[in-house]
Amino acid sequence: MLVAAAACPCPPLLVPEVAAGAAPELDAARAACTDAVGALAAARPDLLVVVGPVTGDGGPEHYPEGSTGSFRGFGVELEVRLGADRGTVTGRTLPGALAVGAWLLERTGWTDVPVEGLGVAESLTAERCAGQGRDVAGRAERVALLVMGDGSACRTLKAPGYLDERAAPFDAEAARALGAADTAALRALDSGLARELKASGRAPWQVLARAAETGGAALRGTLLYEEAPYGVGYMVAAWS
């Protein structure tokens, strides 16, 4: 069952080498992510699963431990590996969100516990997210999740999705639910509205919600960070 979770944003700019001169602008977010990942380690899980959004309409994508990714698409010669190198042979490359998750784990020195990756399409229905949550929670006796995903991308005129007055209330409710470990509220997030607001975290958060409800574990949440730099909602929360 699920014993701990961390929710973190997944912009490539979280990686200082990608952000370059703008790196200090997300220092507070990086520090909060480090604290959230630390809470995962403290829970002593048997398995860590990194969940993140992927593009397309296909089914969930699974990435075994040892899968690699890079940030070459952003002009940075930086490679990352999901967990330890245990001789895993895989031809799959980590998508962006999972690559950022792998970078967070490397940054905090995560090596002891096996790690897997799960990519969920941003279009995945709430029902299918619930199914993935149940499956993930049953993967080991003690499971931890590192859930990557952003809030809306429509918070300001210069945001990637331009200004949408619905964005701030959507992000406020998502942040409240993440901070309170309110699984019902996360499951109730409107997938259509999330799509319109370009909120990539909706599907991963709903996977988290159902995983937390499986097995009856009573987790408490703490909101560690909530800001909207660059007009995108970034939230960090720890559940334990």
C-alpha–C-alpha distance, residues 54 and 52, integer Å: 7
- Residue 18's pLDDT band (boundaries 50, 70, 90)? very high
Q: What percent of the chain has pLDDT over 70?
A: 97
Mean pLDDT of the chain: 93
Specify the amino acid at residue 210: R
Evaluate if residue 28 carries a pLDDT over 90: yes
What is the structure's pLDDT at 90?
59
- Residue 100's pLDDT band (boundaries 50, 70, 90)? very high
* DSSP characters over 29-98: HHHHHHHHHHHHHHT--SEEEEEEEESSSS--EEE-TT-EEE-GGGT---EEESS---S----PBPPHHH
What is the structure's pLDDT at 88?
58
H helices present in 81-201, as ranges = 96-107, 126-137, 167-180, 183-187, 191-196
Mean pLDDT of the 139-158 span: 96
- Residue 110's pLDDT band (boundaries 50, 70, 90)? confident
50-59: per-residue pLDDT in tens?
A: 999 998 776 7
The answer to whether residues 31 and 8 touch, using CB atoms and an 8 Å cutoff, is no
- Chain centroid to Cα 172, Å, comes to 17
The answer to whether residues 133 and 214 touch, using CB atoms and an 8 Å cutoff, is yes
Mean pLDDT of the 164-172 span: 98
